[in-house]
Structure 1
């Protein structure tokens, strides 16, 4: 069974939510409802398959969601048993299903230890930071991610620059045929 088939089963299984609430102390009832699930505090993102990915200690939003522990794996549930998926396996499966461009947050969290943006702030321009960020991110993908795949607002946040700078970099890359 691949990850996406596994997900379809997990979203129907209340035991998964029960397990996470019991073991991770997630208080689902206290979570506010928002359409935009990405926040600075929780770094949560919604991807096409309906999976949520979040940092360790982030909230669980509804039955069938997954919590991403930055130090370990993705937790999920199959047939009433909790399983752990290696994140490299998940990346391969998502890549095969053409969902990888929607799974960039996992990649960002994986590579965050390799990118020292505090150093980059003093040694490069905002446009150079954006380019380096995309280059680092694309080391993990077969199909290159572009500015619009990651999002203008998220890039401006992660690269410490204005949204206008990100848009200008996007336009420059498109004009050069890189998009």
Structure 2
């Protein structure tokens, strides 16, 4: 049981590094400058649906801190933002049917909107970045649409359950676990 947990943790670490590499190095070369998906945010939304409070919270904070390293902004900004988004998703997850894969698409859109608002508020409160928050508010909607598209791709990549037959629909809670 312990060895399996280490394998899953290492897999999660490698997946997060791969997504970060795609987000930072590959996708900026393929997409226009003003369109930047946040693949780690999609993982945070997914963690909010599938993981417990402690494990999901720590993983979300880790993903945010990892993004902080490459964002070039105040350290801790994305860490606290991702943790707050995880907590919001986890709080609301009990009220929704987490077996529905379309929930991840809605969460991708709304989590991106919440991320932009949280970043704007945190920058206003804690940073000397008075002119950055209008830029964030300007790009929230295009980023939300792009993140929703990547969430759709993410759903297509989730492993199918054995014996599902022809059904393309997949249970979110069974696709990935730590």
TM-score (norm 2): 0.30
Larger radius of gyration: 1
- Which is strand-richer, 1 or 2? 1
Determine which structure has the larger helix proportion and give its number.
2
